[in-house]
A and B are shown apart, each in its own frame.
Chain A
Amino acid sequence: MREDDPLDADDRALVAKLKELPPEGSEPDWQALEAAIRAEVGDDAPRPWWRNWRWIVPVWVLATTAVVALLVMRGGKPVEHQAVVGPGRLDAGVVESPAPAAATSAMWLDGEAVELDNVDGSALDELDGEARAALAPEGDVTGGILPVADYGWIDTLDDEAVGVAEDWLKRKRS
Chain B
Amino acid sequence: MQALALPALLERVNETSDPDRELAERFRSGDRSAFDVLVRKHQKGVWRMVRRYVKRDADAKDVTQLVFVRAFKGLGAFRGAASVRSWLYRIAINCALSWIRDHRREQPTEITEDSLTALPVAPGRIADDQEGTRLRAAIALLPPKQKLVLELRVFDDLSFKEVAELADCTENTAKVNFHYAVKKLRDILGGSDARG
Q: Binding site of A, secondary structure by majority: helix, strand, loop or mixed?
A: loop
Q: Mark A22-45, 1 if CB is under 8 A from B, else 0.
A: 111111101001101110110111
Contact status B64-A41, CB under 8 Å: no
Q: Which residues of B contact A11 (CB under 8 A)?
A: 182-183, 186
Q: Which residues of B contact A121 (CB under 8 A)?
A: none
**How many of B's residues come within 8 Å of A, CB to CB?**
45
Which of A12-20, A67-75, A79-87 lies at the interface?
A12-20
Which of B7-15, B27-35, B85-93 lies at the interface?
B27-35
- Contact partner, B135, options A18, A23, A26, A45, Cβ 8 Å: A18
A-B contact pairs, 7 of them (CB 8 A): A11-B182, A14-B189, A18-B155, A28-B64, A33-B64, A34-B36, A45-B76
Q: Which residues of A contact B76 (CB under 8 A)?
A: 45-48
For B133, the closest partner residue in chain A by CB is A21
Within 8 Å of chain A (Cβ to Cβ): is B44? Answer: yes
User: In angstroms, how far is the closest chain B Cβ from the Cβ of A9?
Assistant: 12
- Counting contact residues on chain A (CB < 8 A from B), the size range is 20 to 34
Contact status B31-A15, CB under 8 Å: no
Docked Cα-Cα span, A60 to B31, in Å, equals 31
Q: Which residues of A contact B30 (CB under 8 A)?
A: 45
Contact status A36-B65, CB under 8 Å: yes
Docked Cα-Cα span, A15 to B150, in Å, equals 9
Docked Cα-Cα span, A118 to B12, in Å, equals 98
Q: Which residues of B contact A34 (CB under 8 A)?
A: 36, 39-40, 43
Contact status B136-A45, CB under 8 Å: no
- Contact partner, A28, options B31, B47, B131, Cβ 8 Å: B47
